[in-house]
Amino acid sequence: MSSIPRPEYPRPQFVRREWLNLNGTWDFEFDDGDHGVKEAWYVSNRAFSRQIVVPYPFQSKLSGINDPSFHDVIWYRRQFDLPAGWEQRRVLLHFGAVDYAATVWLNGEFVTTHEGGNTPFTAEINPLPGTNYLVVRVEDRSTDLEQPRGKQFWKAQSESIFYTRTSGIWQTVWLEAVNSAYIERVQVTPNVDDYGIKLDYRIAPPVVGQELEVEIRYDGRIMARETMWVQSTPYRASCVITLPELHLWSPEQPDLYDITYRLKLGDSVLDEVESYFGMRKVSTEGSRFLLNDEPYTMKLVLDQGYFPDSLLAAPSDDALRADVELAKAMGFNGVRKHQKVEDPRYLYWADQLGLLVWGEMANCHTYGDRAVKRITAEWQEAVERDYNHPSIVAWVPINESWGVPRLTSDKRQSNHMLALVYLTRSLDQTRLVISNDGWEHTISDLCTIHDYTDNEQIAARYQTTAHAVSSTPARRLIYLPGFAYRGEPIILSEFGGIAFKQSEWDGWGYSSAEDAAEFTRCYSELMEIVHALPALDGYCYTQFCDVEQEINGLLTYDRRPKIDLAIIRAINEGAAVVVSAL
């Protein structure tokens, strides 16, 4: 087993061979007085008093610090030696995610800044032969409600539906060596109807005489080879490639194509990148969701992506794969990733193993000009980062009116939410966009409703479409005044939340069960009702696992099943379960 935490290549859809993982032990310091910049803590000879294990947040056990109290400014430092042969290369420094605002120095010289706790950033650096010193300052204001923070609580202790904060570096840091020109990005858009894909690509820098060579394979067999001349003027170029065979991606059969990109100048290969893509089509027809032009019932589970020893940071790649496998083992064909832009390695396993994903932004919790600017910028970065993952079928920029609490009375807020819908559509026309998951929709491709009422009310409320869209769960309108239901599929996207304590965590749920038999009976009865409701086209059960004080998961916080996974699967598949046999 590697001594480097999270040793796997962190960007699985855009893989280069020459890279250096910078995870591991870094020097670390709290800067509660915010003196570090004035005192030049970014110089290489500055002594830090602590050490931290990157990429785990200081609030977590795996970081080695395990301090959940407020520390809004923190510093990291580590040294690295430039690998042999990299001296004449361009070197890219990548951060998977740093929560929230980062400033980076190398050998005492400023490199870059980035704001946004969920999305990656990259900078070209000029390291010296021998030892180099990398310093990162992170500012994460614990009580700033105009900062996109999702479920990270702004009080000292977790409570209700909010959890321990994740500050600082929480995804892999790494270096890559590239040549004088390299492939910066390729966006793959599948077109199932025309048996092909569109590639939009960026070269840094584009030079006359360069060629982009593309090779597509399925199951080891070459499906297509194309070569495009790189023009020197456009920053972004595109091409269309037709496939001789169409192998569709779905949760039941997650077929993927491998693709290699080579940037060439004459006989020289300047850059080579390995990737993959899936051919699948997402659409709606009337009140039905369609996958690859066939009606498809989404059976989702709410997954918050927290881990007991590392919070939002996954403890390992195996843990991410296991979460995908557990969701499938319980009979779900998808997850709604709740208030978290998930690690790309999770999406990789969802692509490879077959699991639908709703990609959701971590929201602010109050409205203002800074909140609008922040969430708009970060959401664009999130959609761009995850565009190529076939597993993602829907985008969720807003949940339950978080960050826009006065939609019915403040036109700015409803316009902001509507703007996010159109912004998302402008970035991606291949997926569905949900305007405000839960209620108070504007224009939305799915009508998604959160409802934690009892079985009797659930059964009555979703017998007809008219009754469903006129209901007011949590005393909220399903559609804002001025907007209306237009026949889109109705998804019960939060419900259930049955608490069943099976660990040391004390906590709560939306209802409760005392033992395994009662838990099974409650879950079975609820799901039998949901499966039979005429107005519903799919569902998302709350939730995948317990999280801190929320003990309403199907699994414990450390992913132990509360009842046999086969029983949960049978219930999700509509089979009768005999509770007395437990």
Looking at residue 249, the DSSP 8-state letter turns out to be B
pLDDT tens, residue by residue, 474-483? 999 999 999 9
CATH 3.20.20.80 domain position(s) in the chain: 282-494+538-545
Q: Characterize the bridge pairing of strands 221-229 and 210-218.
A: antiparallel
Residue identified by tokens 């999270």 is 6
Q: How far is 394 from 422, CA to CA, in rounded Å?
A: 14
Q: How far is 405 from 493, CA to CA, in rounded Å?
A: 20
3-state helix, strand, coil in the chain (%, to 5): 20, 35, 50
Predicted pLDDT of residue 502: 77
Q: Is 392 within 8 Å of 355 (Cβ atoms)?
A: no
pLDDT tens, residue by residue, 520-566? 999 999 999 999 999 999 999 999 999 999 999 999 999 999 999 99
282-494+538-545 carries CATH number 3.20.20.80: yes
Q: Does 224 score more than 70 pLDDT?
A: yes
Name the architecture of domain 19-177: Sandwich (2.60)
- What count of residues does the chain have? 582
CA 205 to chain CA centroid, nearest Å: 30
Residue type, 361: M
CATH 2.60.120.260 domain position(s) in the chain: 19-177
Class (C level, CATH) for 182-277: mainly beta
260: left (phi over 0), alpha (psi -120 to 50) or beta: beta
Predicted pLDDT of residue 1: 37
| Sign, Cα dihedral of 309, 310, 315, 320 | positive
Nearest CA-CA partner of 451 in 441, 436, 439, 466: 439
pLDDT tens, residue by residue, 109-155? 999 999 999 999 999 999 999 899 999 999 999 999 999 999 999 99
Using 50, 70 and 90 to split pLDDT, how confident is the model at 235?
low
| Sign, Cα dihedral of 447, 448, 450, 455 | positive
Using 50, 70 and 90 to split pLDDT, how confident is the model at 439?
very high
CA 271 to chain CA centroid, nearest Å: 28
CATH 2.60.40.10 domain position(s) in the chain: 182-277
Kindly state the average pLDDT of the residues 163-190: 97
Q: How far is 97 from 385, CA to CA, in rounded Å?
A: 12
pLDDT tens, residue by residue, 452-492? 999 999 999 999 999 999 999 999 999 999 999 999 999 99
